[in-house]
Chain A
Amino acid sequence: MTEATDLAERAGDRDPRIGLRAVSALRRLLEQLEAVQVRSARNQGWSWQEIAAELGVSRQAVHKKYGRQ
């Protein structure tokens, strides 16, 4: 790879759009992963309290978010 294309690529990496998009996508992915894990824990008989403790949030917060499912 020539120095010019290398430089161009590294400059591209600093494009805030790419970085911001990655963060936003990561947030959405995180939400999906959380939903999968909470559902799995509930199916295995975990209480909201136990799930909340593992997630480091209040029981009310977890129940409000997933309770009706």
Chain B
Amino acid sequence: MFERFTKDARAVVLGAVDHAERLHAETVEEQHVLLALLDREASRASFALMSLGLAERKESVEQALAEARRRGGLSRADADALSGLGIDVSEIVSRVEEAHGEGALRAGGTGAGRGRSWWSGLVGGHRPFAQGAKDLLTESLRMALAQRDRYIGDEHLLLALAARPGVAAEVLADHGVTYASLRRVLYGGGEAKAG
């Protein structure tokens, strides 16, 4: 399967592993894939992000992801939903940090994937991919198939990221990058057909 990954797509997957290591995350998650996508230059995904104005807002994206990590991986929409129940997530975060140190809630990594999968040859690391990140790779294949592309490029990873609900897609949407806007800049005109 991974032989279909382009050089850029492989670089993104490897970059995601690096980001997970740098952030001391136990598993490789979708947010790490997004960070790796932001690092790319002169790839199809980076052109798409550039034309949506994300190049100058890279730091803002990184900051939003850092805030979500501090909330234990909850997105802002999650926090809003909880506040509807009378639960103040930022209050909980600050109490926990008071008692257990800064960043204590930072995702301890649940739902770690076990076992080797088709991409373990690609990344060859010991850090497992979280279920969400595994699903993302599968979804990127679906994005490529839907487009009748014979390869999986970093643009398919980006599309899959934007199409899947979660912190990464939410942060992207807050910065004007959605599945629909990506399809527009990548494939022009036409309405977005679901993958």
Contacts and interface: CB of A to CB of B under 8 A. Distances in A.
Nearest to B26: A69
B167 to A, nearest CB: 11
A35 B81 contact: no
Given A25-B81, A26-B82, A29-B82, A36 B100 contact: yes
Range of interface residues on B (Cβ < 8 Å):
20 to 34
B96 A25 contact: no
Given A22-B81, A40-B100, A28 B72 contact: yes
B108 A39 contact: yes
Contact of A36 (B74, B77, B89, B96): B96
Contacts of A19: 81, 84
Nearest to B112: A68
B64 interface: no
Contact of B110 (A18, A25, A35, A39): A35
Interface in B21-57: 26
B24 to A, nearest CB: 12
A26 B85 contact: yes
A6 interface: no
A36 B85 contact: no
A32 interface: yes
B78 interface: yes
A50 interface: no
Given A26-B85, A32-B108, A21 B77 contact: yes
B91 to A, nearest CB: 12
A31 B105 CA distance: 10
Contacts of A36: 96, 100, 104-105, 108
8 contacts: A21-B81, A22-B82, A22-B84, A29-B74, A32-B107, A33-B72, A33-B96, A36-B104
Interface of A: 13, 18-19, 21-22, 24-26, 28-29, 31-33, 35-36, 39-40, 69
Interface of B: 26, 72-74, 77-79, 81-82, 84-85, 87, 89, 92, 96, 99-100, 104-105, 107-108, 110
